[in-house]
Structure 1
Amino acid sequence: MSGHEYEPGEVERVTSPMQKFTMSQVTTGLLVTVVGLAVVFGIPLLLFSP
């Protein structure tokens, strides 16, 4: 163990997200990514294209 003995009733500390992602969360993340890429690359290409 890490040198720390847990007392009875003490909740073990979790330091990283360990929950599974839902498809809704994945879809939201992909949509945010696509919109962000469109803003970062699409708008400058439209503004500065000849």
Structure 2
Amino acid sequence: MADDSETVDHDSGADVGHDLDDERTTAPMSDYSARDVGVGFAVMLVGALIAFGIPLVAF
């Protein structure tokens, strides 16, 4: 059984990938480049092709 009386001053999961001084950080606030947008768009196109293209070709 875990000892709940122990206090933890450092949450190592909270300091990965963002500024610890910010009150709250979420993914949409993160910086992204034009390359990231292009990769996301390409992934969307492949997904749409799989979702709609394969059923259309099957008939």
TM bucket, shorter chain: 0.5 to 0.7
TM-score normalised by length of structure 1: 0.63
For structure 1, list consecutive stretches of 5 or more residues without a partner in the other structure: 1-9
SS of equivalent to 1:12:
coil
Q: In angstroms, what is the RMSD of aligned CA positions?
A: 1.8
For structure 2, list consecutive stretches of 5 or more residues without a partner in the other structure: 1-19
Q: Distance in 2 between matches of 1:23 and 1:14?
A: 25
1:11 lines up with 2:24 in the alignment: no
Select which of 25, 32, 50 maps to 2:43: 32
TM-score normalised by length of structure 2: 0.55
Counting aligned pairs with the same residue, the percent is: 33
1:42 lines up with 2:53 in the alignment: yes
4+ runs deviating over 4 angstroms: none
Q: Which amino acid aligns with 1:21?
A: Y
Pairs aligned (count): 39
